Amino acid sequence: MPAPSPSRSVALDRSRHAAPQVFERLRDLILSLEMAPGTVLSRADLAAHFGLSQTPVRDALIKLGEEGLVDIFPQHATVVSRIDAAAAVQAQFLRRSIEAEVVLTLTGHADALLLSQLRAQIDVQTALMGSTAYLEFIAADRAFHRLMYVAAGVPDLFDLVRKHSGHVDRLRMLNLPTLGKQRAIVRDHRRIVDAIASGDAEAAQTSLRDHLSGTLGQIDAIRLAHPDYFTA
């Protein structure tokens, strides 16, 4: 899919710095695959699209480059990066390691409010299963996991994991339209919450690890279906 058209500008919140907003908008477009791997990003066109000078656009692109979501070729072009399977594996290793400790911390100590909030996000995802509202499904998934980080007292680690998860997030986006994948996510979330509520640390960690291994276990099939999206 092409980059945003410069023919119409996008209104930004003028009470906030522009670069972070451009970064967030572009990041969302990349992770949702509305901006496909290989898309060439013109700094001038993006500046026109957002109604800005090129400086905040440049700063946003640099930050996207730091997350591995774009490849910047000085004096040449900036291109949405292709999915790097090796980077995805490392990012998921980081996430599994941290979240295993998060659910261990919560096991046996989660209050009724947290359990209710987690189950509410599961209900949202259940209602969205089978629809094409993939971004809403992912938002509920993200909210589910962030609730656990906050309850465990480590919200900054959620931001750290998210910063490194761009390749994994795009893999999941390619896989999510499969109804079986949506059902597996909801099932895993229920198992995690039930284990936390019952104080079963081993079951909580096992369910969590199984949950986070699902997409990577299908990476060969995803690559076969979308070869142009991946690095060689």
**Which residues, including other chains, have CB under 8 Å from residue 63's CB and lie 6 or more apart?**
19, 23
State pTM to two decimals: 0.90
Per-residue pLDDT tens for 105-154? Answer: 999 888 999 999 999 999 999 999 999 999 999 999 999 999 999 999 99
pLDDT tens digits for 163-204? 999 999 999 999 999 889 999 999 999 999 999 999 999 999
Paired with 70 in beta bridges are 80
Contacts of 159 (CB under 8 A, 6+ apart): none
Instruction: State the first-to-last Cα distance of the chain, in angstroms, to the nearest integer.
Output: 20
User: CB–CB of 103/88 below 8 Å?
Assistant: no
